[in-house]
Amino acid sequence: MSDATDPLDPATVHDRVSFLQFVRALAADYRRCAPNGRMACSDHPSPYSGLWENLDLGTFLDSGADWVEHLGSGGTDFPGADADFPAQPTWPAFAAFLFLCKSYYAGRDTQ
């Protein structure tokens, strides 16, 4: 097993350079998986790749907004607390937002 940092892990983002590396890796993951359809990417090179639920920009952005709205509510099976997306977002928070945009959807919330 390699000790290499996974470029799709939002926790590795700590500054502008690492954020841009993350965004490029996320875009490459999208291009690799999107042609196969929603959730269809089976050759995951890392635990952070694949699992694209939101393939169009509108749904992608709506899902991110839904995730932020539900932070700290306990009403979702996705992890998160209000501190994960602070009033003054950080590079890691913005990376986590983009990462969750790809697979979060409000219908997954527990009611």
What is the structure's pLDDT at 87?
Answer: 75
Q: Where are the domains of the chain?
A: 10-38+47-106
Which residues of the chain, if any, have pLDDT below 50? Answer: 1-2, 108-111
Contacts 24+ apart (CB under 8 A), 99-102: 99/8, 99/10, 99/26, 99/48, 100/63, 100/64, 100/67, 101/54, 101/60, 101/61, 101/63, 101/64, 101/67, 102/26, 102/30, 102/51, 102/52, 102/53, 102/54, 102/60, 102/63
What is the structure's pLDDT at 42?
Answer: 63
What is the structure's pLDDT at 89?
Answer: 81
Q: Residues 10-29: pLDDT tens digits? A: 999 999 999 999 999 999 98
What is the structure's pLDDT at 76?
Answer: 54
